[in-house]
Each structure stands twice: as C-alpha cells, then as structure tokens.
Amino acid sequence: MQIERKRIPASTAIEAVTTLTIPDVPAYAEKIIPMLLAEAESRGMAVTGPCVFTYEGCDGSPDRAFTMKVGFPVDACRGQGAFACAEVAAHECLSTVYRGAMKGIGPAWSAFTPLALQRGEALQPIGREVYLEWIDEGSADNQVELQIPLQG
C-alpha cells in the first residue's frame, strides 16, 4: 500500500451532516447524494470536484454511532436551502487510493490506518473518502482516495 503525504487546498462545500453507524452509510449515501446535487444546481453552485465522505469519531466498529458529512466542493456558496455550506481549511493529510468494490473499503481502512500511525505523525481522528471514480457498489473499477488529516 502506497501512502502519500499531500496538501489539500481550501475549499467551499455543500454538505449534509448526520449521525449514523457504518451499516447505515450505503442507504444514507444513496438518498442524500442526489439531494445535494439537486440543491447545488438549484442554488446556482457549480460542483468543482468529487463527492467526499468525512467520518468523525468512527473507530470502525459497526455498532458505534459517529458523525458523517457527505459533501461536494462548489465554486461558491449561494442562497439558502436544506443543506449548509462549509469552509474546508487547507490542510496536510496522509492518503492512499483504494480500488475496488465497497465491500473491501473497510479492510482497506484497516490496513491504511496502522501504516499511517507507524509514520509517527500526529493524525486527526477523522477519515475522509474522496470518490475519484464511482461506478457502483460492486465495481472493481471504483477509485476512492482514503485520507487522514494531520494535526496542525
């Protein structure tokens, strides 16, 4: 597994925030992603990048609730609606790219996290998934960048 340290530029995002468990993620994503895209369009916001899932307080346990944000970077926040805009500060992170079906993303995180910790850098308790290429849940051609932001 190749791990890269990279700088993520600041961005504006339209996002939905909820509390759920890991088994709830697929159904929530299937429902919320079209709603986010429709609202961005109706508010005149151009989507400028791929969908991003942010997991806060998720330790990989299927039964433990955590905060999840699902969002898209946009050119600017305009108007009001059901979803808020958020400013994502520029930051450094450790990243790796997972390729494959979604059933393998948990094991990918389980492999990536200890390798990231071994590097000795201060990590934030946050995981991000950037959906670079999405075909469908079972596709071997999905590409998802896994990111762990660094402290400071």
φ, ψ dihedrals at 33, nearest 5°: -60, -50
Residue 152: DSSP 8-state? -
Residue 152 has pLDDT above 80, yes or no: no
For 76-93, the pLDDT digits (tens) are 999 999 999 999 999 999
φ, ψ dihedrals at 56, nearest 5°: -115, 125
Record the tokens describing residue 134, joined without a space. 């999405």
Task: Give the mean pLDDT of 84-106.
Answer: 96
- Give the pTM: 0.95
For 9-29, the pLDDT digits (tens) are 999 999 999 999 999 999 999
pLDDT, residue 30, reads 96
What's the N-to-C CA distance of the chain in angstroms?
25
Helices (H) and strands (E) in the chain, counts: 2, 8
Residue 113 has pLDDT above 90, yes or no: yes
